[in-house]
Structure 1
Amino acid sequence: MELLDILEHEKKEMMPESYKNLTTAEMERRVKEIKEKFGSKLYIPGHHYQKDEVVQFSDVTGDSLQLAQAAALNKEAEYIVFCGVHFMAETADMLTSENQKVILPDMRAGCSMADMADIDQTDRAWEKLQIVFGDTILPLTYVNSTAAIKAFVGKNGGATVTSSNAKKMLEWAFTQKQRILFLPDQHLGRNTAYDLGVPLDKMAIWNPITNELEYDGNNVEEIVVILWKGHCSVHENFTVKNIEHIRKTEPDMNIIVHPECSREVVGLSDYAGSTKYIIDMIEAAEPGTKWAIGTEMNLVNRLIQNHSDKKIVSLNPFMCPCLTMNRIDLPHLLWSLEGLEKEEISNQIIVPEHITKDAVLALDRMLANV
């Protein structure tokens, strides 16, 4: 029912075809005009993975939670045009005040990882896991999840995590309960738990399609981390073969990857960390150093452009940008802004109050422990 509630609160419209016929120069000129016209009433957060054509107009760039928090701190803005994906705009709506309107320029801008855990699947999983393990499990969810999943976690005593604070939050969770259910990204959960010393044979995977627990070994009682069978479609495309190729052709090249990559890839890399960690590492690196980066291609290209004093490549040379993130483009941004100019709001994100209440609990628990 939560998903239906959210859909009923969101007015979805498609951009008119005429916007596709405008020149880049025309669109850039109009966006600048509208930004100047609205001034502080308009705020445009832009995710690191956005195209340059969008990022150039962003008032702030960052990761998903950072952008939502920045929007919440900006009390002057009446309109927040969020250049990211759906779950990010949901978080911004939950953290901002009632008089602020959060708009997603294209409702098709979703996240395949977030979509791999819906609330019905999670409710079924929780019911079955309670039968197997009793009241010994604390749920955690990566912020890359829907508002409904965040609310489920908040309602059941858990918290959200980011790729930057996942280790600290898992440590906190183990002080609360014997076991952790980690949603929706199995790789971030596995990599973080492994770094904390949890053996792989004490981790299991929850398969939401079969509604079953998948694990090696015979003793289910030894399982302490239950990983939801979800993943990032971008980061899962970095492979051991990519690393082997770099080691063979560029043995002096540093390899740095995001923890949404598989355990095998993270284990063979020189460094692994959040988007901010990757950016900070490249900025602090000595001129002349070499880096193969395992994360989204728009960000990698931007780092290449901004750091010409270093040799930077994508760990996977055939990697494409995040397709859903890239649905937010210059035509959709302009269409959203021209709608505001006409007092016609399209694609407003409104999370129902009962979902917001429990989801914010999960966010607040995280913020209280990091």
Structure 2
Amino acid sequence: MNVNKSVKTTALAGAALLVLQALPASADQEFLLTVTRPGQLQVIDMSSNEVVRSCDIPGKFGTGSIALAPDGRRAYVLSNMTEDVYGFDIMNCDITFHAAQSQDNIRVKSHQSIAVSSDGKELYTVQNPVRHLPDRFEVLQPQLAVYNIADGIDAKPVRTYPVERRITKIAATEKGEVILGGADVTAIDPQTGKTRMVTPLQSWDRGPLWLPPDAFAMHSQGEQANEYIMPYVTARFQDESMNMETAEWWWGISRVDLKTGEAVRQEIIPFEFIVFNFISDPRDPNIFYGSFNTLSKHDISKRETLAVHEMPHTYYDLNISADGKTIYVGGTSSDISIHDSDTLEKIGSIQLSGDMTTSDLRVATIRD
């Protein structure tokens, strides 16, 4: 037996094992998703900030609303003027699901409202139906529609339940409810149709010195913190004369934990500029970022604005990397602006083939 060769082989094997042990575990894949005109789902690799594929979406452009499956691999998009839902495998652009919500003479619109259950088995939309008659339009009761994702192409609702009007952005909780963002924030059980109040907004009675909140749920993209955020604006008057000029104006939020379904409602910062969308930092739940004509950073525990970065044009929404270090600001136009979350300074840009207008900016995480 060659002892020297045996020792050398053992040493090399030991060294290789040490090297393998020192290597980091396989990292999750993060993809930034948005929709651009005339109708493409853009899949962006967040490790390189490059568009890796563009999936053609059938039908006319809707609002670009996107819901993510829990596995991160599948994305569901409202299309055809918000009447149809298409499900995509974002790794190869295969269409795995389709639901045409309008049937016969009933036209259905879903205003941003699309969500996937936490187990990935059901898809939810809020349908706003109108019956088209020869001499008039008949506005029908809005409803939550429940689909089995396994039904695939040509899926039909398996359950429907009446809901309030004005519902836009929705989200599914791990407890099995669907959060409905409308005049108030409510929740519905998609198995029974039973609803409950999560946080009152328009129906919130705080006395004569407080202005009823004006809530807005165009975008709620809290997947990095597993939460749903409904921003609102309110004011506290000095006295019952309700003088708008001397009132204290505030940004507030209804913030729903999607693990528990529990919520907090609070004023977070003075109303100094318009914000279309808030997200929190996954490293610190008190740090918030907002976007519109500015990119802003806030400490809501202190009700302080920490930094403001002026943007070259309006950006409707934003999202953040899982490590909290990088902010992506998009919507409105055809460019996504990339920023350092500590300083808000711009560190890059992604140019797309068309404008995003009202489209979501979602982060899909594919875990090994």
TM-score normalized with structure 2 length: 0.28
TM-score normalized with structure 1 length: 0.28
Structure 1 or 2: more helix by fraction: 1
User: Which one has a bigger Cα radius of gyration?
Assistant: 2
